[in-house]
Amino acid sequence: MIGALLLATADPGSSHWLGVAARDVPPLAQVINQKSFNVLRTVSPPSTANGTSQFIPPGATKESLLAKPFHIYDDAFYDIIGPNPTLTLLNRTESNPRFHEAPVWYPATDEVFFCQNAGARAAGTGLNKSAAIMKIALADVTTEISSQRSANGTIRVEFVNPSPGVVNCNGGTNYRNRILLVGEGQGYTVAPAIYLMHPYSPYNTTVLLDNFFGRQFNSINDASVNPRNGDIYFTDPTYGYVQDFRPAPGLQKQVWRFNESTGAVGVVADGFNMPNGLAFSPNGQHIYIADTGTAQGFFGNNYTFPATVYRYDVEDDGTFANRKVFAFVTAGVPDGIHLDTKGNVYVACGDGVEVYSPAGKLLGRIYIGSTSANFQFAGKGRMVILAETELYYATLGAEGAFPGQLH
């Protein structure tokens, strides 16, 4: 109703026209009116405005976008962020992309685990750094810290040294009360694998899977647990190859399922360019799978390839049906995906975390101004965001969904 009132009274051509209701906007939030830039008159060519560039709406600056980083595109985002969302920089490195992937919250200790960037040549990391797994204790993040925008270095980022090591770790999830991590492998000899890590010192690991009938996977990227059958579903693109640390691929780029109890391994979906992050809906009826095909490693970016999230129905028998295009992200490529308890879909991408309704409408974003490969809810109202050289902590209204994982 408020929307109708605005439509009736405001001039759609004016920059004051609000596409969403003018409720009390939280201090760190701002309304972004998408209609205000439907017509730009001078629209830059693809050599300037593309999936790698950062779009700054007219009238805004990068500083103004960062100053109030919760960007509201739809009324529904008010409930998602709550009355007073916060975003705090916890740690920043000079250049080493330490805050990359595999964020897993372990509720029993209230710690969040994550890993270093998996050795892209440009990242300047070697195998040892790539295998680095770290953790932070959320108990350290006091409200005094989370009320600040920058609290660089105030909490400890602790290295855990899993043994045997998780080589080129790139994804993770809670699994049977432990931490499941996937590794992309290294060279010809270290096969990509699924690892299970003990969540307490000495962080001993067990390898659950490292081949398909004797064949190496390409570079296992991420994993998620189907809440209805407990199987581990995982993606296997060819980033190890196009980032120069794995041989030419020996398998199609596809999505797999693995039943740890029976040992059964099989494919559930193909037709992807670079299948990446994946997440089940809270009720387990759907799965969302990111395709980062635009990013082709040493082949560069190809903007005719996907930067797209697909959604499938998940059948009772654990197979997929009805593939549909769910969202094409507005910046960069969609990487990590997680849902809240209401079924809203959060996607890490080129300028932070974008939030979509279950109908695929952009509701808002948590703006970082640079690429986030992944993030994770830590229960209700808390989120940790990994942005390569930066580690962020957010508080908001939404509660993360962990279907089938937290038991």
Ligand X SMILES: *[C@@H]1O[C@H](CO)[C@@H](O)[C@H](O)[C@H]1NC(C)=O
User: Which residues bind to ligand X, rule: CB under 6 A?
Assistant: 46-48, 50, 52-53, 91-92, 94, 126-128, 150, 152-153, 156-157, 178, 196-198, 204-206, 229-231, 259-262, 302, 304
In our burial notation (b when 16+ CB lie closer than 10 A, e otherwise), range 161-195 reads: ebeebbbbbbbbbbbeebbbbbbbbbeeebbbbbb
Shortest reach from residue 300's CB to ligand X, in Å: 6
CA 32 and chain centroid, separation: 22
Looking at beta carbons, which residue is closest to ligand X? 153
- Looking at the Cβ atoms of 293 and 364, the one nearer to ligand X is 293
Shortest reach from residue 333's CB to ligand X, in Å: 13
- Looking at the Cβ atoms of 91 and 281, the one nearer to ligand X is 91
- Looking at the Cβ atoms of 30 and 205, the one nearer to ligand X is 205
User: Would you say 204 and 163 are in contact if contact means Cβ atoms under 8 Å apart?
Assistant: yes
- Looking at the Cβ atoms of 4 and 108, the one nearer to ligand X is 108
Shortest reach from residue 231's CB to ligand X, in Å: 5
Shortest reach from residue 407's CB to ligand X, in Å: 12
- Looking at the Cβ atoms of 294 and 344, the one nearer to ligand X is 294
Shortest reach from residue 118's CB to ligand X, in Å: 14
Shortest reach from residue 140's CB to ligand X, in Å: 11
Shortest reach from residue 37's CB to ligand X, in Å: 17
Cβ contacts of 381 within 8 Å, gap of 6 or more: 82, 395, 396, 397, 398, 399
- Looking at the Cβ atoms of 50 and 322, the one nearer to ligand X is 50
- Looking at the Cβ atoms of 129 and 342, the one nearer to ligand X is 129
